Amino acid sequence: MRAGDLDRRVVLEGPITSQSASGEVSVSSWLPVCEVWASRREPRGDERRDAGQEQATVEAEYQIRYRDDITPLLRLRDRTDARLYDILGAVELGRREGLRVRVKARAE
């Protein structure tokens, strides 16, 4: 993976959870885990009807240097377009050379 191809700054954020008196666990906030350089593959858009409302989503793929702590529990914030993405999965590239991270976000 060439450093010149990594032209975007992205922040990976992890959830901070809280538990109510009844035992229900919910995400109270998000904390930055790391900030890394990434490249982005053009997103694929999708529109569908859900419960009578149109829902638009954007999917994209980011390539980053290899890390072993990327899971679907995290989310990705792209500093270039200021959009938040849920992580769908990460696939190792080569022998720990990098990761291809699939993400999905609601279009505004």
Question: Which among 52, 60, 50 is positioned nearest to 100, based on CA atoms?
Answer: 60
Length of the chain: 108
Output the pTM of the full model.
0.78
Look at residue 91 and give its three-state secondary structure: strand
Sign of the alpha-carbon dihedral angle for 59, 92, 27, 8: negative
Q: Residues 40-95: pLDDT tens digits?
A: 987 665 666 556 666 677 889 999 999 999 999 999 999 988 889 999 999 999 99
Q: What's the gap between Cα 22 and its chain centre? A: 31
Q: What's the gap between Cα 61 and its chain centre? A: 9
Q: Residues 13-54: pLDDT tens digits?
A: 999 988 888 888 888 899 999 999 999 987 665 666 556 666
